Chains A and B, each alone.
Chain A
Amino acid sequence: MNMINFPSAKPVKANRRDFLKGGVAGLVIAFTFTPRKLLAADAAAPAKKPVDPNAFVHIAPDSTVTVLIKHLEMGQGVYTGLPTVVAEELDADWSQMRAAHAPADVAKYANLAFGMQGTGGSTALSNSYDQLRQAGAMARAMLVQAAAQAWKVPAAEITVKKGVIAHAASKHTGTFGDFAVAAAKITPPTDVKLKDPKDFTLIGTEIPRLDNVAKTTGTAIYTIDVQRPGMVYAVVARPKRFGGVVKSVDQTKASAIPGVKQIMRIPSGVAVVADSLWTAMKARDALKIEWDDTKAEKRGSAQLWAEYKELAKKPGEVARNDGDAAGALAKAKQVVSAEFEFPFLAHAPMEPLDCVMEAKDGKVEIWAGSQFQTLDHMNAAKVFGVTPDKVTLNTLVSGGSFGRRATPVSDYIVETAEITKAMPAGTPVKLVWTREDDIRGGRYRPMYFHSVKAALNEKGELTAWQHRIVGQSITKGSPFESPGLDGMIVEGAKNLPYTVPNFAMDAHTTNVGVPAHWWRSVGSTHNAYATEAFFDIIAKAAGKEPLEFRRALLGDNKRHRGVLDLAAEKAGWGSKMPANSARGIAVAEAFGTVVAQVAEVSRKPNGGFKVDRIVCAVDCGVAVNPDVIRAQMEGGIGYGLGAILHSQVTLTNGVVDQGNFDAYKSLRIDEMPKIEVYIVPSTNAPTGVGEPGVPPAGPAVANAILALTGKPVTKLPMLQGSSV
């Protein structure tokens, strides 16, 4: 059997400087080197290959244009944004555009920011923009060439508008479908001219989402909906504690339940296969499993916090050191300090993790909302001991992900592979994680402790900022690990946008047996909160107005100032608020996009507070589809608010306390504030919008509460265990 080269877990050291300079996030560094090494079979740098329009644009005889989407549509709008870019250069009519996921094929469909096929770091549109403009323009040229040959007229005289190909002088007109077959035989030209952005007719307009109808009529097919003849259903009993393993299984009762097909041990636990999910779940409840917790993580949250706080007293690994922060603190007129606590967070995508698979005659077919197609493809192939070319991976739209499906180890896909391999050949298997499996199954935004100090001189000027972070690495132990401090621990804080003459940042990487994972906006989930909330604590101590204090220290960061000014203006910053309410402001850069938000918060008559309104300004380069950008800001704010207000995963003796939405709380409609989104006009290349809406929401609310109550909110979630 021919085995390919699997991740050696010894990648090249990443250049952390680069990603911090551009504000491009950790995901990017992690992926720029590793996959190339993994994929010795396809060592060619995809970025340098000429664009192949046939890989991205399929024109059917009925004139529909299907754009093959190399990314995962998990809600962020790639099914709409990417076809917009193609349609623009192709001069298609929007009504003829369709979208479909591309197959797993790293040679054709690598994310140009990662070097492998996958979605993350808010890169979907930015890495595809030039590629798809090229593909669209090339396809257009091929259609024009085919029409010119058929009509025997010069190609240069042919026009294309809204899907109609025309030659005015000869009065010929035709559709894309008329020339689809002939065009496909033409060699793609390499010298196409792209449109001048001022001539765009689709990019920058609010065209409707292409998945609107399917997703409002119940006809969109997610992985959980895939039906195959003879399909069986599987759930897995996993250890209660991370790192536990099966000691013994008594399956007498479970096996006796009618409909149970098979109960088997797999590396992650005990799998139950039945003729329905209901039966599988029932049988799983009837299993008696003894777990061996010798190597399991047995600490609880309280103990972990105590250990983190102890660690925070000692210097950690240096992330950045400008000037002499300790010296400036010693000489300070006033020292301001704060400590922040951020809990573990589950992603809880609405569609739980799931996968459908069948294997026969050395071939494997997979259906999944795969976010890292290249790795999922390879990891599944590895279980079956086949080369990836024997494995077909069909990517389906997914019911959210927020990073959860982008696992380097392909956890849920590998589980399905293990089960499928053990079933009779050709049996389709559908694995579903229940919500409890999802909340208790790990891969969390890790818990972090921050200890921050600032120095103010006699004039109230900020002279030093000393920042220590304690928490887990996200990449440690994965194929993406690099030597030294994991940049994801400090991203969003190390690149503080403010000019502080003495700045020191260090971090302790903790060893905890709870799987850590990237969660929508990664390091910025806690770092933007800690830095921006601390900034207002400093401003208060210095007697400065928070917006003016920010503006004064932003130096050359024009985009930060731009979004702050826009959000402040639209929110009426500085104007009087009704009694018992206040505003807060925060700004954060993530993945090259800069976002500022103003939150308005009011006290509730019976205690507590409510977030009434958030005004958001975003600078994400060219706004390809302003409505999708607004939607992502709204969604990012809501996702962030749910987490800072309610969500936490806690452990008691290593066992997760929460299991479902009753305890792991999510934002609901009655708590959603009014949201206004303003986009800074820009001609820069587009940057991502899937994640950057999240980071400023928390600190903007915290700063409003500080203004309202005089008390900083330093412990999350706000509505549990905080004094607000």
Chain B
Amino acid sequence: MSTTFELNGQSVTLDTDPDMALLWAIREKAGLTGTKFGCGIAQCGACTVHIDNVPSRACSIPVSAVEGAKVTTIEGLSGKVAQAVQTSWQNLNVVQCGYCQSGQIMSAVALLSATPKPTDTDIDEAMQGNICRCATYVRIRAAIHDAAKSI
């Protein structure tokens, strides 16, 4: 079955098994590997993408569900908020292994787009679906506050 949607600003039609998770369609069919697999059951956030600007776990959404939707992955991030987030992440040396960070950044961009000056509680709420096994949480929090200053 084929599904047509907008992926990072471009219209794409992917021919897949209809119940294939969006994650695998993006990674293996569209060849965009920035979105990661960590759990497959919406527990870790490594696969976070934006679907119509809402942060969503691509591992737990069938590709057929995004027909006609606008999907943004880490590769397609752009704009002031995204840039501020990535710059703060780099300036504060947030990453360790880095594997969770595409998902962390996608969640952080969504948070700051909706709440430009988040409190620690806002951060806890928006980010607790993203596991970082390297436990870079101290810096994730600091980088979100840092990015908020420059937006």
Interface on A for B, CB 8 Å cutoff?
Answer: 74-77, 208-209, 211-222, 224-225, 227, 233, 258-259, 276-279, 282, 348-352, 397-400, 402, 432, 434-435, 627-628, 631, 634-639, 641-642, 660-662, 666-670, 672, 674-675
Q: Which B residues contact A (CB, under 8 angstroms)?
A: 16-17, 20-21, 24, 27-29, 31-41, 43-44, 46, 73-75, 86, 89-91, 93-102, 105, 123-124, 127-128, 130-141
Instruction: Take A350-B46, A668-B131 as given contacts and tell me if A397 and B98 are in contact as well, using a CB distance cutoff of 8 Å.
Output: yes
The reply to whether A669 and B97 contact each other, CB–CB distance below 8 Å, is: no
- How far apart are B7's CB and chain A's nearest CB, in angstroms? 13
User: How long is the Cα–Cα vector from A172 to B20 in the complex, in angstroms?
Assistant: 63
CB distance from A280 to the nearest CB of B (A): 10
In the complex, 26 of the A-B residue pairs with CB atoms within 8 angstroms, ordered by the A residue number, are A212-B90, A212-B93, A219-B34, A222-B99, A225-B27, A227-B31, A259-B17, A276-B16, A276-B29, A278-B28, A350-B38, A350-B132, A350-B134, A351-B97, A399-B36, A435-B38, A627-B93, A631-B96, A639-B134, A642-B135, A662-B43, A666-B131, A669-B123, A669-B124, A669-B140, A672-B138
Q: Which of B16, B37, B98 contacts A215 (CB 8 A)?
A: B98
6 residue pairs, one from A and one from B, having the closest CB atoms: A218-B34, A638-B135, A399-B99, A215-B98, A75-B97, A218-B74
Residue in A74, A209, A282, A635 with the greatest tally of chain B CB atoms within 10 Å? A635
A426 to chain B, nearest CB (A): 20
For the complex, what is the distance from the CA of A253 to the CA of B107, rounded to whole Å? Answer: 39
Say whether B134 contacts A670, CB under 8 Å: no
Q: Do B35 and A218 touch (CB < 8 A)?
A: yes
Given A225-B33, A631-B93, A669-B123, residue A400 in contact with residue B101 (CB < 8 A): no
Nearest A residue to B137 via CB reads A672
Distance in angstroms from B148 CB to nearest chain A CB is 16
Residues on the B chain within 8 Å of A432, using CB: 37
Nearest A residue (CB) for B34:
A218
Instruction: Choose one: A222, A233, A628, A631; the contact of B139 (CB below 8 Å).
Output: A631
Q: Decide if A666 touches B127 in the complex (CB within 8 Å).
A: no
Main secondary structure of the interface of A (DSSP, over half): loop
Out of A215, A277, A348, A352, name the residue touching B95 (CB < 8 Å).
Answer: A215
- Looking at the assembled complex, report how far the CB atom of A443 sits from the nearest CB atom of chain B, in whole angstroms: 16
Residue of A nearest to B74 (CB): A218
Q: Which residue of B lies closest to A224 (CB)?
A: B37
Indicate which residue in B16, B24, B133, B138 contacts A402 across the interface (CB closer than 8 Å).
B133
B136 touches A660 (CB 8 A): no
A301 to chain B, nearest CB (A): 23
Closest to B39 in A: A435
Q: Among the interface residues B17, B37, B74, which one has the most CB atoms of the partner chain A within 10 A?
A: B37
Q: Is the CB of B90 within 8 A of A435?
A: no
A contact residues around B74 at 8 Å (CB): 217-218
Task: Report B-chain residues with C-beta under 8 Å of the C-beta of A258.
Answer: 17
Contact residue among B27, B41, B90, B140 (Cβ-Cβ distance under 8 Å from A208)? B90
Partner of A674, one of B38, B123, B138: B138
When C-beta atoms are compared, the residue in chain A nearest to B133 turns out to be: A350
List 17 other contacts, CB 8 Å, given A216-B94, A276-B17, A399-B36: A212-B93, A216-B90, A216-B105, A227-B33, A233-B28, A276-B20, A276-B28, A349-B99, A351-B97, A351-B99, A398-B99, A399-B99, A402-B133, A638-B138, A641-B135, A669-B137, A669-B140
